[in-house]
Amino acid sequence: MITFDYIRPATTKAAIDALKKESSAQFIAGGTNLVDLMKHGITAPQRLIDISRLPLNIIEQKGNMIRIGAMALNSTVAENALIQQQLPLLSQALQAGASPQLRNMATVGGNMMQRTRCAYFYDTTLPCNKREPGSGCSALQGYNRMHAIFGASDQCIAVHPSDMCVALAALDAVVVIADSKGERRLPFIDFHRLPGNSPHVDNNLAKGEMIVGIEVPLNNFVKHYRYTKIRDRQSYAFALVSVAAAIDIKENIISDIRLAMGGVGSQTVATNKS
């Protein structure tokens, strides 16, 4: 791993300001993706801004929505009583991801920002448009049984590997984003991008912005829900395909339904129509 300098700002504002000042700086939260990528030489920020101790880890109900801070740990969210009661689908999806040790480190914001696990993205000796724009895509003619089924382009067929994101897409979540001027909100399903001609840009977070939280509206999907993940081994493996499904049944009639698919594209594929 190359050398870098490290700062731990005391406030969210100071962290955002610090990101603006150094073009190659990156936030580090749990570090489970970033440290891995730095060790592989895929990314080499000259400065790490430690945001893991910022007071952005609160999970609370606010009116008719639940707000989850970006720094909340994946394990904490999965086991939080409010989440288990009101958003059990999210809890189930989180439990399906990674391992207990990784879930104790990984944050909500970091999970959304994690990069693809495409083997060619990881292999720095081979071309990859996501890693090195314009170099080509090795996966197109390569070993690609885990690659995109939907939304791929002739430049990239990588998928986003998150489980949590599939549930968030199904549950109409909204991403709360902050920069030095204030906050904005983005529907979760618009957060990740299709590869098109710029597969190196994974999402619509602008330079200098931080994810500060997620808002999920309260819903009636607390009884009939399931997160199913098909993978090469029973646990601790990325999805070949995963499905988040939830239905609301009133008087024996399905009154509302949500379906989202993960592991099949660079975005979660959601069909959110009542």
Partner 1 sequence: MSHNEKLLNDDCHNSRRGFLKKSVAATAIALAPNVIVKAAEDGLDEKAAGYFEKTNIKLTINDIDYSLSIEPRTTLLDLLREQLHLTGSKKGCDYGQCGACTVHVDGKRVLSCLSLAVMQEGKHITTIEGLAKGDDLHPMQQAFIDHDGFQCGYCTPGQIMSAVACVREGHANSPEEVRQYMSGNICRCGAYNNIVDAIIEVKRKGGTI
Ligand X SMILES: Cc1cc2nc3c(=O)[nH]c(=O)nc-3n(C[C@H](O)[C@H](O)[C@H](O)COP(=O)(O)OP(=O)(O)OC[C@H]3O[C@@H](n4cnc5c(N)ncnc54)[C@H](O)[C@@H]3O)c2cc1C
CA angle 29, 31, 36 (to 5 degrees): 155
The smaller minimum CB distance to ligand X, of residues 1 and 249, is found at 1
Residue 242 touching ligand X (CB under 6 A)? no
Binding positions for ligand X, 22-61, rule CB under 6 A: 26-34, 36
Site string for partner 1, 208-247 (x = CB under 8 A): --------------------------xxx-----------
Instruction: Name which position in 68, 90, 106, 170 contacts ligand X (CB under 6 A).
Output: 106
Residue 71 to residue 163: CA distance in whole angstroms: 17
The smaller minimum CB distance to ligand X, of residues 50 and 256, is found at 50
Residue 123 touching partner 1 (CB under 8 A)? no
| Token pair recorded at residue 113 | 């920002």
| Token pair recorded at residue 97 | 């991801």
The smaller minimum CB distance to partner 1, of residues 56 and 216, is found at 56
- The sheet with strand 241-250 has its strands ordered as 224-230, 241-250, 253-262, 269-270
What SS3 class is residue 109? helix
Please report how close the Cβ of residue 197 comes to partner 1 at its closest, in angstroms: 31
Per-residue b/e over 129-147, b at no fewer than 16 CB within 10 Å? bbbeeeeebbbeeeebebb
The size of the chain, in residues, is: 274
174's contact among ligand X, partner 1, none, with CB below 5 to 8 A by partner kind, is none
Binding residues vs partner 1 (CB under 8 A): 1-11, 14, 17-18, 21-22, 28, 31-32, 35-36, 39-40, 46-48, 50, 52-53, 75, 98-102, 104-105, 234-236
